[in-house]
Structure 1
Amino acid sequence: MSRSLPLLLLLSLPALTVNAAVAPAYRPVATNGPEDDTAQKGRLNGQVRDEQGRPVEGVSVALKGTYHGTATDASGRFRLTAPEGDYQLAVSSLGYELQELAVHVTAGQTTTLPAFTLVAGSQALQEVTINGSRSLNERPVAVGKMPIAPLDLPQSTFTVERQVLEQQQVVRLSDALANVSGVYVSGNTGGYQQEISGRGFSFGSSNTFKNGVRYNNSILPETSSLERLEVLKGSTAILYGNVAAGGVLNLVTKKPRFESGGSVGLRAGSYDFYKPMLDVYGAVNGSEHVAFRVNTTYENSRSFRDGVKGERFYVNPSLLFKVGAKTDFLLEGDYLNDNRTPDFGLGAINYRIADVPRSRTLNTNWANIGTQQKSATATLTHRLTENWQLRGVAAYQGFSSNLRSAARPTTIRDSVDVFAGLNKKGEPNKILTGSPALYGNLVRSLQATDISEDYFLGQLDVTGQFRTGLLRHTLLVGADADKYNTVNVAYNRVANYDSINVFEPGRFNARTSQPDFSRNTRTFSPIRRVGVYVQDLISITDNLKLLAGVRYSYQETGSQQLTYKDGKLGELTKSSDDAFSPRVGLVYQPLKTMALFASYSNSFNLNTGTDNTGKALVPTLVDQYELGVKKELLDGRLSANLTAYQIVNGNLAQTILADAANYNSAFPAAKELAGEVTSRGIELDVQSKPLNGWTVLAGYSYNRTTYTKSNVYTVGSLLRYNPNHTANATAFYTFEQGPLRGLNAGLTALYIGERQAGRSARNNVVNDQYRLIELPDYAQLDASVGYSLDRLSLRVKLSNLLNQLSYNVHDDNSVNPIAPRQFLTTISYRL
C-alpha cells in the first residue's frame, strides 16, 4: 500500500521551466561536442591498434583546433562526425607517441581511414600506461536508465567487463558473479538453473534482466554473447517495480558494428565439454545506415556427476539502423534450446550429508528437462535536442520447459547404528527407529511438469538536462506496462517407481523404462503490471547532489485451474495491488575523486494467500537504508567503494498457527502480516583499470539476515542459504614488452563462508522435521594463462585448483556438490 512521500522529495521535483542549455550534470562519455546543425557534415571511421595488432580502447581521437573528438571503443574503432573541411587528426594515449594525420571531411560521405598503430613512446617504461576502459565509478550502468556516473549515484554498482569475461573463460553466470562482492549462488536445484542471491534476498526472474528487459532465469543463461555484466545493488523498485531488495543483474549483449570483424573459436574442457563459437559483425552490404551482428554457439557436455549430460544451441542476431543523424533503431533477437539431465543431487540423511563419492547421482537414466527460450527486443533512441533524449522499448519473451524426472530425494532411510551419540550441545540425539539394513535406502517417485510463459513489455523513457535557477537537473520520466501469461501443467506423481541405495548403487535393480504420466491440473496465471516514475538528480552545488523520485505501480494477478480428472474449469480469480515506491539520496563530493552518499528507498513484495477472513493479503513493504563512500585512487587507476546497508522487510506474511487466537478453521492455510526480516551488512569493491599490464578485482561482503519478528520462526535465527562472509580477488598480468609480449596469466580466488540449509526451526517447537544443515566455509582458486599472437589466441584454465569439496543445498533434498578440479581451454581467431 502507498506511503506518504518525504516532504524533501516533493520539494525536489522541479517545475519544467527550462533556462538556457547547460552542461550535463553527469560525467559524460567523450562525444563529438557541439556542432553547427546548419553545416553540412561528413564522417570519419577508423581503428587504433597496438604493435601486436590488438585493438586499443580509450584512445583519444580529435580534430585539432575544434571541439570534435571521441575515444575508441572496445574493438579500437572510432566514428567522428564534423563539418566539411580540412583538418589535422590527432591520435594520442598515455605511454604512446602522438600521431597526426591530415584528413578531409566530405559532406554527406564516410571516409574510412587506414588503421593507426600505436608505438610506445620513449618514456613509456617510466610512465604508467593505461590501455582504455573506464573505472568502476566512471561507467554508467544501462540498467540504471539514467546517464549518471556511479560516482554521482547514491547506490552501489559493479560492472564485469568483457576483458575479464574472456580472461576467465566464463561459461556460467556464477563464474562472472565470482567477481562481485555480496552476490552469490545460494542454490543449484536440479542443476539446470543457478539460484542467485544478494544481501540476503533471492534474485528471481523479476531481478534478472537482459539488455534492460526482464529475463526468465529458470535456465542457465548463455554467457558467450555478453559484452558485460551489470550489477545494481540495493533497491531498484523505483525503476522496475516489484523486485527483490538485494539488487538486479543486467546481461548486456554485444551490439552491431559498422566495421567488419568478429571471431571464431572452440572451447573444450574436462568431462567431454565442447563449445564452438562464432561472432560476426559488420555493415549490411557496406551500408552506412544498417549494421548487423550474429553470435552463435553450440555446447555439448557431460559432467563429473554420473550419467549427467547437457546439450544446447544458442543464437543472438541483432540489427542496428541509423535512421537519420539523431535516431537509432536496434533490433535484438535471442534463441536458446537447452536439454540436460536434471540433477537434484543427494538428499540428506537425518539432516546430514552422506559421505559418498562426488559423482554419485540418484536420478533415473532417462530423466530430462528440455527448455526453449526466445526473445525479441526493439529499442528506439531519438535525440530530441542536445540535452534531451527519448527511448522506447518493446519486447517479447517466450519460455517453455518440460521436465520428466525422479522427484527430489526426501525420504532416505536412517539407522539407529549411525546417529546415536551427542549433538553439538552435548545432548543425546533422538534414537531413531528402523533397521540398519535400510540405511541409505530411497524409494524413488517420479515427477513431470510442463511450463509455458509469454512475456510482453512496453516502456518509454525521457531523459534530459536543464536548469531551474541555480540548480542543475538530470531528469528521468518514464512509464512501463508488462504482462505475463503463464501456463503450468502438473502431472500426477508416480509413487514407488523403484528403490536405490545411496551407498550401494547396485543393491537393487534400477528400472530403465519411462512410464506414461497422466495430467493432473492445468493452471493459468496471468499478471498485468503498469508503472509510472519520475527521478531527478539535482546538482545543488558542484559537490552536493540530491537524487529524488517516486514510482507508482499497479499490479493485477489472476489464477484459473482446470482439473483433468473431471474436466472442471474453475473460475478465473483476480486480485489487484498498488504501491508507491519513493527514493531519496544525497551525494557529497569533498573531492572530485571522492563521494560520500546516504539514501533511503522503499519497495514492495506481493503476498500470496489470504488472511483469516479469506481476503487477499496486501503487499509487504521493504525499507532500505544505505551509506557509502566511493573513492578514485592513483589518479583514477584504482576505484574502491565501501557500502553499509540495512534492509527491513516488514509486515512479512506468515502462516497462522493452529493454536493461535486468530486461527480460523474455515481458512486453515490463512496467513497474517506478523513477521519481519532484517538484513544488515557491508560491502567493499575494488577494481583497477588495466595498468602496467595488471588488472585487479577484489571484494568483501559481510551480511547477517535474521528474523527480527515472527510467530513461526525463532526470533534472531538466520535465514537459510546466505553466507555471513564472502570474498573475491582476481589479478591478471599481461606482458607488454620483451619476448613474452602477448602472454598473460592470472589467479581468481573465491571465499564462501558458513551457511545453513535444511529447514528453519519453528518457534518454540521441538520437532525433527525442522532441523538445519550446517555447511562449512570453503575457498576456491582458479588459475589461468593465455597467449595472443596477431589474430590468434589461446587460453587455458584450471578451476578449483585445490579440489575443494562443498555443496549448494536447497532444503534437505537437493544437495549438489560443487565441481572438482577441471581444465578448460579456448582457442580463437579474430576475423
Structure 2
Amino acid sequence: MKYLLSILTVFLLTNFTLAQQGAVSGTIKDSNNSPLLGVNVSLKNSAKGAQTDINGNFKISNLEKGNYALIISSLGYKTKEVLFSISTNEHIKLERVTLYEGNEILNEVILEGERRNKFSRKKTAYVSKLPLKDIENTQVYSTISNEILKSQIVTNFDEALKNATGIEQLWASTGRGGDGAGYYSLRGFSVQPQLVNGLPGLTNGTINPANIERIEVLKGPSATLFGNAVSSYGGLINVVTKKPYVGTGGALSFVSGSYGLNQIVGDFNSALSKEDNLYFRLNTAYTTAQSFQDAGFRKSFFIAPSLSYKVNNKLSFSFYSEVTQAEQTNPTFLFLNRSAPTVASNLDELGYNHKLSFTSNDLTLKNPTQNYRVEMDYKLSDTWKSQTLLSKSSTSTNGYYSYLFDYGILEGNTYSRFINKQNANTQTTDIQQNFIGDFKVASIRNRMVIGIDYFNETQTNNSTGYAFYGNVTPNGGSNGDNPFTAEVEDDVFPLSTSGVDAALASLGVSNLKSKYHIYSIYASDVINFTERFSAMFGLRLDHFDNKGALANLEDDYNQTTLSPKFGLLFQPLKDKLSLFGNYQNGFTNVAPQLVGNPDEGPQSLKTFTPEQANQIEFGIKTNLFNNRLNSTISYYHINVKDRVITDPSSPFNKIQGGEVVSKGFEIEINANPINGLNIRAGYSYNDSETTKSDNAQILNKRPLEAGPETLYNFWANYEFQYGILDGFGAGFGFNGASERFAINYESTGEFVLPSYTIVNASVFYQAKKYKVGLKLNNALNKLYYKGWSTINPQQPRALLANVTYQF
C-alpha cells in the first residue's frame, strides 16, 4: 500500500503539472479555401514548432502561460504572424488562418525540427513564374534542396547537379571567355547554368554552392516563359540563392579533403531594424583545391550580401548579389579529330595517362564575376500583385587558355597544343515587369502572370590569336614539329608565362565588341475548371535585335517569334496523384546567309525564320502518404526542325530542312519512409538522332551533345532519432551512366567512353549547435571519363571532412 500510494502521488503530481500546460492548434488554408500541407508553424524566438498535415491542421502543445507570436510560412506564400495569449491549461484554437500566395522574398523562415521528405522541395514561384505546387504543374522539373547538398558535403556545383535526374556533365568549366561555364547534357541537348533566381546570371567559371538554397532543373524547351537566351531545347538550370529571413542566426563551416581541398563557408543573418522589417544576410566562402593530376589548381573567394525590406503589407524590396574572384588552370581536354579517321577507338588503344595535365600552374585564368538583382513587389489588390525585377551580370576572363587537338596530320595519336592570352568580358542586363493574379471568373479560378521582358548582352573580346605551342602524346611524349609547316622542327616549348608570352608576341589582338537586344511580352494562365482538372496556356512574343559586331554594320539582323505552351492536368486524388500532358516550345534565332552562285554574280543575303523545337510529354506525379513519397514518371518527344541546311537541289542555296529527334522517359523518386530516412533516386533513358541533314557525317547518328543514353542516381541518408545513437547518421549513394560517344562521325569512326558507376558514402554526427561528418567520394576508386568530342578524366577516390557550427 505504501508503494502504491507513492506511485499514485507521483502520477497525480505529473498530471497536475501537465495540466498547467496549454496548447495552440488551427487550420491553415489558401485563398481558395484549400488546406495547405507542410506549412511551417513556429513560435517566435522559440525552437517549438509543427507542420500542417494533409488537412492543413497543426498543433503545438506544452505551452506555459504567456503571450506568443506564431510565425506561419510556406514557400510561395506570404509569411503571416499571429499574436495570441494563453492562460493556464488553455487550448487556443485558430479556426482558419489564410496564407496568400506571393513571391518568396522576405518570407523564408528556418524552422528547427523534423521536416518530412527533406530531399523534396517542389513548391516554387520560379518554375512557372506562379506559386504552383509541383503536383499541379504540367512541367517536369528536378529540385536539389540545400538539405541534400549538406548531407553530401557538396563543395562544387558539378557534384550538386549529380542529384538531378537525367542530367550529365559534358565537360567541366574551362574559364574561357564567352562560354567558360560547364556544359551539361539534358534530354539530348547541351545546356549551361545561366539563371539565378529566375533571372539571367552568367559566369565563365563555376558556381559556388555556398549560397545555394536549391537548384531547379527544368525539363524540356522552356522559351515561352524564359526566352531562348538562357535556356536550351533540353531545359534550363536555375540556381535559387539564400535569402534574408526573420531572425538572427547563421553557421560557420570548414571542409578539408584530398587533393589540397580546403573550404571555409560563413552564413550570417540579422535584423538591421526589426521595427522597419529590414533584414540582412551575408554568405561567403574561400576555397582552394589542387588537381589529382600532375598540375592544376583552383582558388576562389566568394561573397553574397543580400537585403530585404518590407515597407508595409503591400510593398517590399529585395537586393541580392554574388561577387566572385577566382583563379584556376583551365582543364586541358584532349580534343578528338572531327574529320579524319581516329587512330584509336577507345581508351585502351589510346594509351592515355590520366594523371597528366599537359599544363602548368604558371599558366592560369582569372574569372571575376558579379551578379546583382533588385526586386520590388507591390500588392495591387487581394487578387493582383506587381513584381518589378532588374538584374545585371558581368563575367570576365583574363589569362592563358590552351587546348589540345588531334589534327590527324602527324603520325600516331599526336595532339597539338594551341594557346592564347584571353581578355574577354560579357555583360547582361535584364528588366522584367510581371503582373501576377489569382482571381475567379464565373467561379473558375485563374492563376495568371503577364510579363514584359527586356534582355541585353554585350560581349567584348581583346584576346590574342592562338599560337602553336608544341605537341604531346597521351602517354606523355612531346615534340616541337608544327603540323602546318613543311619542315620538321624540334623546338622546345616551356610551360611558363615567359615562354608563352614570347610565342604570342608576334600575334595580333582582337578588338571585337558585339551586342544584341531581346524585347518580349509573355502571358501564362493556369485555369482550374474544377478542383481536380486544370489547363495551362502560355504564349511569348519575342523580338530579337542583333547588332552583331559593332564595327560591322552589315551583320545586323532581327527576327520575331511566337512561342506557345500548353498543358492539361487531372488529379484523380486531390493533392496526391496527378496525370499530366504538355506541349512546350523552344527556338533559336538564325542569322541570314549568303546564297547564289558566285560565278554568276554577287551573292545575296537570305533570311530565315527561327529554328523551332517542339516537345510533347505526358506522365504522372504523386504526393502520397502525407508527403512521404513524391515521384514523377514521364515520357517526352522533342522534335527540332527548321535547321538551316544546304539545298539538295542546289549547292548554292540554303533551306530550313534539318531535323533532330530526341525522345525518352524519366523516373524520379523522393521518399521519407520512416522518420530520419530520406531517399532520392532517379533514372532516365534518352534516344536522340539527327534525322535530316545535309551533313552525311552526322546523319542518322546520335548527336555528341546528347551524352549517354542511360543515367541513374541514388542517395539515401539516415539519422538516428532516439537512444544513445541519437544524432548519428550515415549516407550512401551512387551515380552512373552508360557508355557514350566522344566522337561518332562517318569519316572518323567511333571513339567510345566506357560506362561507369560511382559509389559514395558518408557518416556524421548532428548536435543542436554543431555537425561533424566524413564523406568518401568515388569510394571504389573508379577510373572514368566524360567528354563531348573530348576526353576528360574524372577525380579518383577522395576523402572529405566537415565541421559546422550553427548559431
Same fold at TM > 0.5? yes
3-state SS in 1 of match to 2:44 = strand
3-state SS in 1 of match to 2:701 = coil
**Which segments of 5 or more consecutive residues in structure 1 lack a partner in the other structure?**
1-20, 34-42, 92-97, 102-114, 119-129, 415-433, 562-568, 665-669, 762-766
Which of 169, 172, 183 is equivalent to 2:156?
172
Which of 537, 558, 561 is equivalent to 1:548?
537
User: Would you say 1:387 and 2:383 are equivalent positions?
Assistant: yes
User: Would you say 1:183 and 2:167 are equivalent positions?
Assistant: yes
Does the aligned pair in 1 maintain the 2:418–2:466 contact within 8 Å?
yes
Kindly provide the amino acid, as one letter, of the partner of residue 155 in structure 2. Answer: V
Give CA deviations for 1:774-830 in whole Å, capped at 9, x if unaligned.
11211111111111223121111110111112212232xx32101111111111111
Give CA deviations for 1:50-76 in whole Å, capped at 9, x if unaligned.
9xxxx9999947899xxx9654679xx
3-state SS in 2 of match to 1:515 = helix
Kindly provide the amino acid, as one letter, of the partner of residue 375 in structure 2. Answer: T
Does the aligned pair in 2 maintain the 1:381–1:392 contact within 8 Å?
yes
Give CA deviations for 1:705-764 in whole Å, capped at 9, x if unaligned.
111211214543111142111111111110111111111111121111121122533xxx
3-state SS in 2 of match to 1:680 = strand
Distance in 2 of aligned mates of 1:157 and 1:116: 25
Deviates more, 1:385-394 or 1:673-682: 385-394
Give CA deviations for 1:225-276 in whole Å, capped at 9, x if unaligned.
1111112212321111213121121111111123111011111111111111
**Per-residue deviation at 1:526?**
0.6
Q: 1:62 to 1:572 in 2, by over 3 A?
A: farther
Which of 303, 328, 343 is equivalent to 1:350?
343
Q: 1:133 to 1:502 in 2, by over 3 A?
A: closer
Alignment partner, residue 720 of structure 1? 704
**1:588-603 equivalence runs, <5 A:** 588-592=570-574, 593-603=576-586
Kindly provide the amino acid, as one letter, of the partner of residue 48 in structure 1. Answer: A
**Per-residue deviation at 1:602?**
2.3
Alignment partner, residue 5 of structure 1? none
Does the aligned pair in 2 maintain the 1:731–1:748 contact within 8 Å?
yes
Q: 1:700 to 1:140 in 2, by over 3 A?
A: same
Alignment partner, residue 633 of structure 2? 642
Which of 738, 752, 758 is equivalent to 1:753?
738
Q: 1:608 to 1:366 in 2, by over 3 A?
A: farther
**1:366-385 equivalence runs, <5 A:** 366-385=362-381
Q: 1:489 to 1:507 in 2, by over 3 A?
A: closer
3-state SS in 2 of match to 1:407 = strand
Alignment partner, residue 48 of structure 1? 47
Distance in 1 of aligned mates of 2:206 and 2:88: 46
Kindly provide the amino acid, as one letter, of the partner of residue 543 in structure 2. Answer: Y
Distance in 1 of aligned mates of 2:670 and 2:280: 32
3-state SS in 1 of match to 2:164 = coil
Alignment partner, residue 614 of structure 2? 623
**Which segments of 5 or more consecutive residues in structure 2 lack a partner in the other structure?**
1-28, 64-68, 95-109, 337-341, 481-491, 596-603
Alignment partner, residue 81 of structure 2? 81
**1:421-436 equivalence runs, <5 A:** 434=411
Alignment partner, residue 224 of structure 1? 210
User: Would you say 1:579 and 2:570 are equivalent positions?
Assistant: no
**1:12-161 equivalence runs, <5 A:** 23-24=31-32, 45-48=44-47, 60=58, 71=72, 80-82=80-82, 86-87=85-86, 131-132=115-116, 136=120, 139-161=123-145
Distance in 1 of aligned mates of 2:386 and 2:291: 48
Distance in 1 of aligned mates of 2:527 and 2:582: 14
3-state SS in 1 of match to 2:127 = helix
Alignment partner, residue 642 of structure 2? 651
Deviates more, 1:608-617 or 1:312-321: 608-617
Kindly provide the amino acid, as one letter, of the partner of residue 166 in structure 1. Answer: K
Distance in 2 of aligned mates of 1:334 and 1:581: 32
User: Would you say 1:274 and 2:262 are equivalent positions?
Assistant: yes
Distance in 1 of aligned mates of 2:111 and 2:317: 30
Alignment partner, residue 800 of structure 1? 778
TM-score by length of 1: 0.79
**1:606-755 equivalence runs, <5 A:** 606-608=589-591, 610-612=593-595, 613-654=604-645, 656=646, 661-664=649-652, 671-689=654-672, 691-713=674-696, 714-721=698-705, 722-755=707-740
Does the aligned pair in 1 maintain the 2:368–2:397 contact within 8 Å?
yes
Distance in 2 of aligned mates of 1:830 and 1:336: 24
Which of 376, 392, 395 is equivalent to 1:399?
395
Give CA deviations for 1:384-416 in whole Å, capped at 9, x if unaligned.
2333222111111111112413333334777xx
Alignment partner, residue 17 of structure 1? none
**Per-residue deviation at 1:447?**
2.1
Give CA deviations for 1:397-436 in whole Å, capped at 9, x if unaligned.
111112413333334777xxxxxxxxxxxxxxxxxxx4xx
Alignment partner, residue 247 of structure 2? 259
Does the aligned pair in 1 maintain the 2:281–2:306 contact within 8 Å?
yes
Distance in 2 of aligned mates of 1:737 and 1:481: 54
Distance in 2 of aligned mates of 1:785 and 1:89: 44
Give CA deviations for 1:315-344 in whole Å, capped at 9, x if unaligned.
000011111122221111110111101122
User: Would you say 1:238 and 2:195 are equivalent positions?
Assistant: no
Q: 1:615 to 1:204 in 2, by over 3 A?
A: farther
Kindly provide the amino acid, as one letter, of the partner of residue 584 in structure 2. Answer: S
3-state SS in 2 of match to 1:258 = coil
User: How many pairs are equivalent?
Assistant: 711
Distance in 1 of aligned mates of 2:234 and 2:408: 35
Distance in 2 of aligned mates of 1:170 and 1:405: 27
Does the aligned pair in 1 maintain the 2:249–2:268 contact within 8 Å?
yes
Alignment partner, residue 313 of structure 2? 325
Distance in 2 of aligned mates of 1:90 and 1:806: 64
Does the aligned pair in 1 maintain the 2:297–2:361 contact within 8 Å?
no
**Per-residue deviation at 1:285?**
5.2
Give CA deviations for 1:474-521 in whole Å, capped at 9, x if unaligned.
1111111110111123422222x3344432458885513232534343
Does the aligned pair in 2 maintain the 1:60–1:71 contact within 8 Å?
no
Does the aligned pair in 2 maintain the 1:258–1:292 contact within 8 Å?
no
Which of 459, 465, 470 is equivalent to 1:498?
470
Kindly provide the amino acid, as one letter, of the partner of residue 475 in structure 2. Answer: F
Distance in 2 of aligned mates of 1:499 and 1:546: 59
Distance in 2 of aligned mates of 1:116 and 1:181: 28
Q: 1:691 to 1:31 in 2, by over 3 A?
A: closer
**Per-residue deviation at 1:183?**
1.4
Distance in 1 of aligned mates of 2:217 and 2:270: 29
Does the aligned pair in 2 maintain the 1:306–1:361 contact within 8 Å?
yes
3-state SS in 2 of match to 1:224 = helix
Does the aligned pair in 2 maintain the 1:327–1:383 contact within 8 Å?
yes
Q: 1:680 to 1:502 in 2, by over 3 A?
A: closer
Distance in 1 of aligned mates of 2:417 and 2:111: 66
3-state SS in 2 of match to 1:519 = coil
Distance in 2 of aligned mates of 1:225 and 1:694: 25
Q: 1:469 to 1:406 in 2, by over 3 A?
A: closer
User: Would you say 1:447 and 2:432 are equivalent positions?
Assistant: no
User: Would you say 1:535 and 2:517 are equivalent positions?
Assistant: no
**Per-residue deviation at 1:89?**
12
Alignment partner, residue 314 of structure 1? 302
Q: 1:772 to 1:240 in 2, by over 3 A?
A: same
User: Would you say 1:409 and 2:405 are equivalent positions?
Assistant: yes
Q: 1:22 to 1:216 in 2, by over 3 A?
A: closer
Distance in 2 of aligned mates of 1:89 and 1:79: 29
- Residue identity (%): 23
3-state SS in 2 of match to 1:391 = strand
